[in-house]
Chain A
């Protein structure tokens, strides 16, 4: 069965600094990969997705992610973060299970 692993439970970063949130996937078949963001006491909002084609995917709010098949990774990046990016970020995969499987999340804490 496919799964995703988020390597960092928390990532502290200063405002305007770059950030990378790491995600590795595990699957022997093709997967579709997603990043979702969750603000406090809210549902999940889709940031971006990789289905096929270009390995660099651009999403909302200035985020992008790169699909790397050889390293089975799908890391999320932003060149300059804002205080408002403070939230929980979830990597997810869709594959043979025909439903989204989520990682445990990474808490991004942006400070001044």
Chain B
């Protein structure tokens, strides 16, 4: 069990550029979650997958955001035409489907800074 891995750890981008983050969950976990955390706030839910199916998306996930989990393993989160308000920590977490209520295992996050 290598835990949940996120790449990159830090990303600085210019406003208007596109960025993509990757998350590798714990291998036997079929649920994968994306959260966003802005400075001084708790994590806010963005979306989650069960295997390759995206089951729920928050209204925070504007049309500039897209997430995929093509083979039910790793996931990517893409932000197009980044804005300064997108600056945040993006957290990925995973859990087994039948034990999701036991809590998630989080990755270390990707910190995005839009300049």
Contact = CB atoms under 8 A, between A and B. Distances in A.
B101 A51 contact: yes
Given A98-B100, A99-B33, A104 B42 contact: yes
Contact of A42 (B43, B45, B104, B108): B108
Given A44-B91, A90-B42, A105-B40, A100 B109 contact: no
A99 B91 contact: no
Given A41-B111, A51-B101, A99-B33, A90 B106 contact: no
3 nearest A-B pairs in the assembled complex, by CB-CB distance: A102-B42, A43-B106, A44-B106
Interface residues of A, number: 22
Nearest to A44: B106
Interface in B1-53: 4, 6, 33, 40-45, 48
10 contacts: A42-B109, A46-B105, A49-B103, A90-B42, A92-B42, A94-B101, A99-B48, A100-B103, A105-B41, A105-B42
